Copies of this chain bind each other. A is one copy, B any other.
Amino acid sequence: MAQQQAQVKFTAVKPQLMVKTPKAVDAVNFYKSAFGAVEAGRSACCPPPTAEQNLPNILCAQLELAGCSFVVYNDDSAPQKIEGIGNQLCLETDDVEAAISKAVSAGAVVEGEVTEGGGACCGGRVGKVKDPYGYVWLICSPSNKCAPVEA
């Protein structure tokens, strides 16, 4: 078992954003227009849309952004209020202001001011937007890293 464990390889890390059913389609469109995310696929378990439906009845979709993937899915247990709880997603960009402006144009709401070096984990400039589904995104300039420290 120890040998098997040592061979464990992960092929992807994907944040999963649940949204209140049936908002997943709206959320996918929002992340496309706000952040330029590209839809990579929908799960095979998604039921096909029917003729009666104006919107495809997706369960979840995989989006790609800056070389990473994240998943948006419908969930009836999605909390209404998640602000400040759990993990946040940070987006790095060289133009924080333009990124915030674009997100706001798509329906996000600015949270606070853009600060200089305010975030422990972010680069020089850090702003925050809350999307229409309750998730807070940090928009920041690339972080300055120091060398790993042997712990």
Give the B-binding residues of A (Cβ under 8 A). 1, 4-18, 25, 28-29, 35-36, 39-46, 49, 55-56, 58-62, 65-68, 70-71, 73-75, 77, 79, 82, 84-95, 98-99, 101-102, 105, 117, 120-122, 135, 138, 142-149, 151
Contacting pair B16 A88 (CB below 8 A): yes
Contacting pair B12 A91 (CB below 8 A): yes
Contacts of A5 in B (CB 8 A): 98, 101-102, 105
Contacting pair B43 A145 (CB below 8 A): yes
Q: How far is the CB of A10 from chain B (nearest CB, A)?
A: 4
Contacting pair A121 B71 (CB below 8 A): yes
Closest residue of chain B to A71 (Cβ to Cβ) is B121
Cα of A13 to Cα of B70 in the assembled complex, Å? 9
Q: How far is the CB of A12 from chain B (nearest CB, A)?
A: 4
Contacting pair A73 B143 (CB below 8 A): no
Contacting pair A43 B94 (CB below 8 A): no
Say which residue of B40, B41, B105, B151 sits within 8 Å of A25 (CB atoms). Answer: B151
Contacting pair A11 B143 (CB below 8 A): no
Cα of A67 to Cα of B13 in the assembled complex, Å? 8
